[in-house]
């Protein structure tokens, strides 16, 4: 039962920003969804439609995961729970900003992140240290330079 509670809590956190849709009757949930959400069975009809939908989608994703994916998700959830409230709020805020970006900009960010992750540990730490030592003005100049280079590459050449 403890792991079922952990799964349900993880699903709630994972889907906090999902959009609301219509009521989802308990009987329309799959057997896997009902199993994951069993602690909500008695009061399902009393839950707001938005929460029902978030829970149902999260349970569906959980049921589709492999055991390794579930273990990894559980580990990430433990890490999430260990963060301070301020840190979680900052992450949520940054995620909302990311979600508001165009698909092309999101893709650019994902690609940059992957390039960064491919660097060796020492090089990544050097970059982090250098960034932390910059003043806000220096950081803004660095952002502007990167933006200008990107725009130059995107311009058609005559």
At 149 the pLDDT is 86
Q: At what angle do helices 49-64 and 2-14 cross, to 10 degrees?
A: 110
| C-beta neighbour count of 90 within 10 angstroms | 12
pLDDT per position as a tens digit, 49-78: 999 999 999 999 998 999 999 999 999 989
Q: pTM (2 decimals)? A: 0.56
What is the token pair recorded at 37? 């959400």
At 68 the pLDDT is 96
At 70 the pLDDT is 92
> In the predicted model, what is the mean pLDDT of the chain?
86
Q: How far apart are CA 119 and CA 116, in angstroms?
A: 5
pLDDT per position as a tens digit, 8-62: 656 656 555 454 445 788 999 999 899 989 999 999 999 999 999 999 999 999 9
Contact call for residues 23 and 49 (beta carbons, < 8 A): yes
Q: How far apart are CA 43 and CA 132, in angstroms?
A: 49
Q: Where are the domains of the chain?
A: 2-100
């Amino acid at each position: 039962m403890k792991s079922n509670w952990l799964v349900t809590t993880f699903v709630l956190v994972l889907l906090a920003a999902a959009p609301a849709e219509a009521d989802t009757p308990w009987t329309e949930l799959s057997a896997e969804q009902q199993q994951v959400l069993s602690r909500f069975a008695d009061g399902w009809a009393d839950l707001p439609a938005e929460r029902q939908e978030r829970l149902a989608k999260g349970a569906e994703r959980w049921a589709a995961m492999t055991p390794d994916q579930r273990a990894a998700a559980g580990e990430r959830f433990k890490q999430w729970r260990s963060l301070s409230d301020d840190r979680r709020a900052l992450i949520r805020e940054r995620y909302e900003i990311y979600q508001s970006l165009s698909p092309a900009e999101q893709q650019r960010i994902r690609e940059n992140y992957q390039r960064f992750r491919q660097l060796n540990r020492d090089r990544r730490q050097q970059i982090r240290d250098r960034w932390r030592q910059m003043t806000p003005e220096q950081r803004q100049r660095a952002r502007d330079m990167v933006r200008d280079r990107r725009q130059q590459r995107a311009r058609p050449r005559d």
